[in-house]
Amino acid sequence: MFDLLSFSDQGWGNALLKGLWMTLQISAGAFAVGLLIGLVVACAKLSAPRPIALLMRGYTTLFRAVPELLLILLLYYAGSMGLNALMLWLGFAQVNISGPLVAILVLGLVQGAYASEIFRAAILAIPHGQIEAARAFGLSGFGLFRRVTLPIMAPYALAGMSNLWINLIKDSALISVVGTNELLYTAKQAAGSTRQYLLFYLAAAALYYLVTLASNYLSGRLERRIRRWMPVVE
Amino acid sequence: MPEWISYYAALIAKGLQTTLSLLVISALLGFALAVGVALARLSQRKWLARAALAYTSVLRGTPLLIQIYIFYYGLGSLFAQFPMIRGSFLWPFLRDGYWYIVFALVLSVGAYVGEVIRGGLLAVPKGEMEAASAFGMTPRQALLRVRLPRAMRLLLPTLAGETVMLLKSTALASTIAVVDLLGAANVVRAQTLQIYQPLLLVAGVYLCLTFLIEGVYAIAERRGTPLRRSVG
């Protein structure tokens, strides 16, 4: 039974590893998208004009209150339909958007909502004197953000972001529902064609578990490393 | 209002009912399990604490969807092989995806909320436990009358978040052909060939449910905290 997991031609080992690689790629891409959205939205919530800040609050509430699976289905179908309509309107032929790209965008949008809350809290945790000092030095706008806000806020956001990364890996399994060949989808195919459901789902679960364990370990080390520079909180 | 909403209103209401029953059943059973897991994690017996740690680590380290597949397809197909199980009175339960979802959700609530409760139990000031034993309470009494209620009160905001997470997790029921709220939307989509409108509708329902949960917890917090002292 276990030779079904082997790396030979008959085994599914290679396919599962390929699925894992796709899962990691999707997660990494979505993490980057989420990071970017999170930063922009956090700044907008803190300092944009009121209507925009309200809009951003609405986005965060909405994306954190609705099930991820529903959001994925909604954005996947409505998003690809909308994009095709746009292309048609622009006079291009219909595009077939690649599954992984849509997955990255959809998961990134969900991540962005959570990340923006983490960044907002981290930015608020910066002692205000630091910002004042930076302004006194003549920094403002993006320069202030890049050279002062971002580096001071990053350690505060680290723990939350590593949690988010682990959640993201787990959420990426939901993408299998719309048929992108990541780890769970591959396991589903393997299980369906060999009828060994328990074996393949347990194998895929073990792979996910390894990834989250490794992520936990690495983020713990990173946190300890960065905490050396953090002031001791009384 | 589009015509399909009134046509499928009964189906969607049924889905809502399924979602709510999933939420309530797995919240209650899962909470009981979570208290057990938290106590096991804090137990003096090394093997028990370690077993509880392994349980939470695995359950929290793997996607819920795959756990559901393991139970439903993996164990389900295993059960189907034994005529003894097929003939037993349990079979109607073991055939229905609903109970697999409940099982998976209970286990996962046990793991996630167990960790939360463990933190809450640790956060109860030591002096209060000492006071309880000075009053002559047995350890069990002190736990049930002082430590747990205290921890619960501290944890209400976190538990609100966990309940919302649970609500969102119930949507995974639709992946194994249980017609919950999302499942109902998928049925409507398949029958009316609408791509996203039913999804939007149930997204609105989920949003309302989330606000409802948060409102209930906010009330509980106001009423359950007759006197708040800062512990310095």
The pLDDT tens digits of the residues spanning A13-57 come to 888 899 999 999 999 999 999 999 999 999 898 888 889 999 999
Q: Note whether A171 contacts B63, CB cutoff 8 Å.
A: yes
For chain B, residues with pLDDT lower than 70 are: 1, 225-232
Q: Give the residue extent of every domain in chain A.
A: 12-227
Q: Note whether A81 contacts B164, CB cutoff 8 Å.
A: no
Please say whether the beta carbons of B142 and B151 come within 8 A. no
Q: Note whether B63 contacts A73, CB cutoff 8 Å.
A: no
Task: Using pLDDT thresholds of 50, 70 and 90, give the confidence band for residue A66.
Answer: very high
- Radius of gyration (C-alpha) of chain B in whole angstroms: 21
| Cβ neighbours of B61 in A, within 8 Å | 166, 208-209, 212-213, 216
Backbone angles phi, psi at B33, to 5 degrees: -60, -40
Cα distances (angstroms) measured from residue A118 to each of A164, A166, B104 = 10, 15, 29
Given the cut 0.95, state whether the ipTM is greater than it: no
Q: Note whether B70 contacts A74, CB cutoff 8 Å.
A: no
- Give the pLDDT confidence score for residue A234 in this predicted structure: 43
- Which is nearest to A106 in space by CA: A19, A21, A181, A37? A37
Mutate to test the interface with B, among A60, A70, A217 (most CBs of B within 10 A): A70
What is the CATH superfamily name and number for domain A12-227?
MetI-like (1.10.3720.10)
- Give the pLDDT confidence score for residue A81 in this predicted structure: 78
Q: Which of B:163-222 have CB within 8 Å of A? A: 164, 167-172, 174-175, 182, 185-186, 195-196, 199-200, 202-203, 206-207, 210-211
The answer to whether B16 contacts chain A (CB < 8 Å) is: no
Please say whether the beta carbons of A37 and A116 come within 8 A. yes
The tens digit of pLDDT for each residue in A134-178 reads 989 988 888 888 888 888 888 888 888 999 999 999 999 999 888
| Cβ neighbours of A70 in B, within 8 Å | 171, 182, 185, 199, 202-203, 206
Please say whether the beta carbons of A165 and A219 come within 8 A. yes
The yes-or-no verdict on residue A204 having pLDDT over 70 is: yes
What is the CATH superfamily name and number for domain B3-224?
MetI-like (1.10.3720.10)
CA distance A129 to chain B (A): 27
- Give the pLDDT confidence score for residue B29 in this predicted structure: 97
Instruction: In whole angstroms, give the CA distance from residue B119 to residue B162.
Output: 14
Q: Give the residue extent of every domain in chain B.
A: 3-224
The yes-or-no verdict on residue A205 having pLDDT over 50 is: yes
Q: Which helix (H) or strand (E) holds A194?
A: helix A183-194
Across the A:B interface, residue pairs with CB atoms under 8 Å apart total 110
Instruction: In whole angstroms, give the CA distance from residue B114 to residue B197.
Output: 38
CA distance A131 to chain B (A): 30
| Cβ neighbours of A208 in B, within 8 Å | 61-63, 66
